[in-house]
Amino acid sequence: MDIRKQEIPADIVHDIFIRLRAKSLMRFRSISKNWCNTIDSFPFANKHISTRVAADEEPELLPLSYFPGVATGNEHSFIYDGNVIKESDIPILEFSKDGNYVHNVAYGLLCFQNRNFLGRELFLCNPVRGEFLKLPQPLPATLGNELYYEVMAWYGIGFDSTTNSYKIIQVRSFPTCINGFPDWFLDRNFESQVYTLGTHSWRLISSSVSLSSQVRGVSANGDMHWLNWNNKIEQASITSFDFKKEEFMETPLPNFGYKQHYKKNLLINLKGFLAIVSFPSDQYIDIWVLKDYENKEWAREYRISTQVWAREQDNTCVIRSDLCFWENKNFSVGVCSNGLFLEAYSYSRIFVVDLITNRIWYMECPKSYRSFGRTLFSYTGSVLSLRNFGN
């Protein structure tokens, strides 16, 4: 039996394709009409991205400016191959206009806002496809005046596997007003709305929420998660948004087993799982992973010494005995293949927490990596076409 004359069944081709990077797939679209259709199909794109987030060579690190308007020109993502930090070969964004601000990145999609003199417009972008989708204007605020500059907004991207739909959540908070004037000492008001890709408008969500300022949400297990800090009771919690039920809920924190300043925890998506980077002392960094999302079971997967290592031609050496995460409040974390990137605003270097060697490396960055004033996102390329949701 000459098998090669026999066609490989479609489900096997699928099974092979979901293991490939988006770059290979974009190239393989030109093999034949059949292969092109497979790669372009909506169910395939969904299966592919959900498989890829757990792949060894994903995600890539995407540092983007947190100053609106600074992101201009070509933005790159980066990979850490276990030795050096390199520019990725997937194009990210060519910002042609000033005033772009990326709110969040998930499922290979960037959700960003363009602010110009005409107003604010919200977009989704898939860099792999080079496609942009303009989203409808969010509903006007019912609880506060949108003109106050103190209005804060959080955005998240989710996937509802029961309806196979992508959704965007927006949470806004407004200062409480007394006689028309904001009172900064009162609790803020929160309002949230959801937009399902492919529909015409946003929908207000009745489920109530309260988020700490300046905390960007993390997408994991299809839902969004924010690390919350309650100043009054000095307690941390995780607020999650369930995209299936379209309601907020609390995800319990791990039982750390040690006293610590919860405020310093960082939330990440590690290989598709929700995870927490915690700093129990100046000796260690711990990484807790929510292994069982349904039953909310956490496990401490990594404990890494805070010794910082440097690579010098063919040998390695310890350059400092501890990296004082403990003392520093402002850390930004990004996940990439093989490890985590830690950026501290008071340091001008990049620290890579290598999860293969269990070491913290002090790393040189490529020239195109500007480390100042950036937010670190994780990015996994998707072949999803935004044409599925309109032009």
Partner 1 sequence: MAIMYALKSSDNEIFEVEQKVIEQSETIKKMIEDGAATGEIPLQVSSKTLAKVLEWCKQRQHKTVENENDDNKGKRKKERDEDDDIKEWENKFSDELKADKDVLFDLLLASNYLDLPALLSFLCQLVADMVAGKMPEEIRRMFNIENDFTPEEEKAITAEHGWAFQP
Site string for partner 1, 128-167 (x = CB under 8 A): xxx-------------------------------------
Asked if 63 and 78 count as a contact pair (C-beta separation under 8 A), the reply is: yes
When binding is defined by CB under 8 A, the residue of 81, 84, 89, 345 that contacts partner 1 is 89
Q: How far from chain centre, in Å, is Cα 153? A: 16
When binding is defined by CB under 8 A, the residue of 33, 232, 259, 367 that contacts partner 1 is 33
Q: Is 20 in the site for partner 1 (CB under 8 A)?
A: yes
Q: How far from chain centre, in Å, is Cα 200? A: 25
166: CB partners within 8 A, 6+ apart: 107, 109, 157, 158, 159, 160, 196, 197, 389
Question: Considering CB under 8 A, how many residues would be counted as binding partner 1?
Answer: 35
Half-sphere exposure of 127 toward its Cβ, with a 13 Å CA cutoff? 25
Q: Which is nearer to partner 1, 7 or 98 (CB)?
A: 7
**Edge-to-edge order in the sheet of strand 109-116:** 100-106, 109-116, 119-126, 131-134
- At residue 346, what are phi and psi to the nearest 5 degrees? -90, -5
Q: Which is nearer to partner 1, 27 or 263 (CB)?
A: 27
When binding is defined by CB under 8 A, the residue of 32, 207, 235, 321 that contacts partner 1 is 32
5: CB partners within 8 A, 6+ apart: none
Q: Is 73 in the site for partner 1 (CB under 8 A)?
A: no
Which of the stretches 87-95, 96-104, 116-124, 200-208 binds partner 1 when contact is defined by CB under 8 A?
87-95
Q: Which is nearer to partner 1, 27 or 303 (CB)?
A: 27
Q: Which of 123, 23, 132, 26 has its CA nearest to residue 79? A: 23
Which of the stretches 7-15, 70-78, 146-154, 315-323 binds partner 1 when contact is defined by CB under 8 A?
7-15
Torsion-angle region of residue 24: left (phi > 0), alpha (psi -120 to 50) or beta? Answer: alpha
End-to-end CA distance of the chain: 48
When binding is defined by CB under 8 A, the residue of 10, 27, 37, 204 that contacts partner 1 is 27
Q: Which is nearer to partner 1, 29 or 115 (CB)?
A: 29
SS3 track for 39-75: HHCHHHHHHHHHHHCCCCCCCEEEEEECCCCCCCEEE
Q: Is 56 in the site for partner 1 (CB under 8 A)?
A: no
134: CB partners within 8 A, 6+ apart: 121, 122, 123
User: Which amino acid is residue 224, in one-letter code?
Assistant: M
Q: Cβ of residue 114: shortest distance to partner 1, in angstroms? A: 24
Q: Is 29 in the site for partner 1 (CB under 8 A)?
A: yes
Q: Cβ of residue 197: shortest distance to partner 1, in angstroms? A: 22
Q: Is 8 in the site for partner 1 (CB under 8 A)?
A: yes
Q: Is 249 in the site for partner 1 (CB under 8 A)?
A: no
Q: Is 37 in the site for partner 1 (CB under 8 A)?
A: no
Which of the stretches 89-97, 106-114, 165-173, 281-289 binds partner 1 when contact is defined by CB under 8 A?
89-97
Q: Using CB under 8 A, list all residues that contact partner 1.
A: 1-6, 8-9, 11-12, 15-17, 19-21, 23-24, 26-36, 89-91, 128-130
